[in-house]
Amino acid sequence: MKGRSKGATQIAFGEFGLQAVDPSWVTAQQIEAARMAISRHLKKEGRMFLRVFPDKPVTKKPAETRMGKGKGAPELWVSVVKRDRMLLEVSGLDAADARHALKLASYRLPMKTRIVQKVLNK
C-alpha cells in the first residue's frame, strides 16, 4: 500500500469529500457503517457518493488447523485504500452539515481522513 492513490484523488461528484490521509484496508462492514452514518444524517436532503468498493477477498484458515491442505476460505472483503484516495462525497448540503456528516463517517473508518471541499474554477 505504499505510495499515493493512482486515481480518485479529486472530488468528482459532490461538493465535499472525505479523503484518506493514511493507507489502510477498509472492510465491507466499515464501509457500510460509514454509509449508514451519513445516510442517517442526510435524511433525504442531499446525495452521497461512495468511491470505494470491497473487491479484495481476505482468506483465513480455521483455528487449530495443521499446515498444508490449501488456502483458507474467504473470511472478509476489503478495499485497498492508498493515501489521498477520495472515499466518499456528499452534495446538496450546506458546509456545516456536510462537515458534520463526513466527520460522523470518519469515526467509523480505520485511518486518518481529511474533509476537502471542491474548488470552483474561474
Go through the domains of the chain in sequence order and give each one's CATH number. 16-58+74-117 (3.90.1170.10)
Task: Give how far Cα 24 sits from Cα of 41, 63, 81, 112, 121, Å.
Answer: 25, 25, 5, 9, 32
- Tell me: pLDDT of 122 over 70: no
**Which residue, chain included where needed, has cell 472515499?**
87
- Give the pLDDT band (50/70/90) at residue 121: low
User: In the chain, at which residue ranges do the beta strands (DSSP E only) sit?
Assistant: 16-20, 24-27, 47-50, 56-60, 73-81, 86-91, 113-117
Cα Rg of the chain, angstroms: 17
- Summarize pLDDT for 63-75 with one digit per residue, the tens: 888 888 888 888 9
Mean pLDDT calculated for residue range 32-53: 90
Q: What is the pTM of this model?
A: 0.85
pLDDT at 108: 94
pLDDT at 99: 92
